[in-house]
Amino acid sequence: MNPAGSVFLLFLVLGSWRRSSSKKKDLQSVCGRPKYSGRIVGGQDAVEGHWPWHVSLYFGQTYICGGSLISDRWILTAAHCLKRTWMPFLHYTVWLGTMKIDYLNSGVKHYVLRTIFHPQSQNTTADIALLKLIPRVTFTSFILPICLPNVTKQMTIPGSCWVTGWGQVHETEGTDYASTLQEAEILVIDRQTCEYLYNPLIAVAPELETIIKEDMICAGENHKRDSCKGDSGGPLSCHIDGVWTQIGLVSWGERCAKSLPGVYTNVTYYQKWIQATISRAEVWGPIIWTYLIYCSLLCCSLWLSWDPPVRLWA
């Protein structure tokens, strides 16, 4: 590569890095601050614009799960919602800015460029995954990211938070999903209490394996409000220090809104993994694409400049 080409390549890489840095600062000023305030099983129709980070995930034409927008390019969802595939853009799409899953014309569609599973997601823990979108998301009054927990600052989780989703509003098998986004305020339950509810024998036999792992949190109210089938991947949003912060995502449960609370993946527990994964992708992504573009341009240049030998007839 000649010196001019090296300088140009370096300029592109540094430019991409500077744009990523500035976007990170911008993200902190807009996340978790919906433009509209409004005031699931046992829930109610959500107010339009109240949860601008909640997205719907589709496999082909079929709605499969919820998710949350955490930046202008990344979606957080549950790992069990996804199938492992080399070309996710052929299968997965995400809709943003819409309240209804049966009327998507009001929303914005993005293709999923890449799916990233937590390395331990094939076990019984780490039910968490990241989706990288193409193209970047344009923020509006109805499309905004939610804040993630700050791992360097002690955070006090309020006694109740909000779960949102398009899942079943009744537990009965075969019940249709809600067409309008549902919202429900639910109690946050400490992990030890939740363990006793799911595993009452552990009180007398502490050697038993725990059911509620340290990467899980619980929330819900007996016979009242809960997440349900179809809500998986959606956020558990808490209003903390004046902004909305995602502390969990819908993972699993036993019988919706019955005697047991819903179980959520603890986003705070995985915040370092989320940050590290996105940082690696944002740093190496522009470098790899720049290299591929440079190689393509070089090949095209060589092909165009190639002067085939003239064959003379004897």
Residue 160 counted as domain residue: yes
For residue 35, give every residue at least 6 positions away whose Cβ sits within 8 Å of its Cβ, in sequence order, or none.
49, 52, 141, 142, 144
**Catalytic: which of 20, 72, 80, 91?**
80
**Catalytic residue at 215?**
no
Distance of alpha carbon 41 from alpha carbon 250, whole angstroms: 13
Residue 146 counted as domain residue: yes
Q: What is the CATH number of the domain that holds 236?
A: 2.40.10.10
Q: Which stretch of 82-96, 116-130, 176-190, 298-312 has the lowest confidence by average pLDDT?
A: 298-312
**Mind listing the pLDDT tens digit for each residue in 227-243?**
666 689 999 999 999 99
Distance of alpha carbon 235 from alpha carbon 248, whole angstroms: 6
Is the pLDDT confidence value at 3 over 80? Answer: no
Q: What share of the chain has pLDDT > 90, as a percent?
A: 52
Residue 226 counted as domain residue: yes
Q: How many domains, the chain? A: 1
Task: Give the per-residue pLDDT at 149.
Answer: 94
**Catalytic residue at 29?**
no
Pairing of the two strands 160-165 and 54-59? unpaired
Give the structural domain span for 259. 39-275
Quick one: CA dihedral 37, 39, 42, 45, positive or negative?
negative
Residue 16 counted as domain residue: no
Residue 166 counted as domain residue: yes
For residue 23, give every residue at least 6 positions away whose Cβ sits within 8 Å of its Cβ, in sequence order, or none.
71, 72
Residue 13 counted as domain residue: no
Q: In angstroms, what is the C-alpha Rg of the chain?
A: 23
As a whole number, mean pLDDT of residues 7-36 equals 59
Residue 155 counted as domain residue: yes
Band (102; pLDDT cuts 50, 70, 90): confident
Residue 233 counted as domain residue: yes
**Catalytic residue at 307?**
no
**Mind listing the pLDDT tens digit for each residue in 194-214?**
999 999 999 888 889 999 999
Distance of alpha carbon 219 from alpha carbon 194, whole angstroms: 9
**Catalytic: which of 127, 215, 226, 231?**
127
Is the pLDDT confidence value at 182 over 80? Answer: yes
Token pair listed for 280: 């690696």
**Catalytic: which of 68, 227, 232, 251?**
232
pTM: 0.80
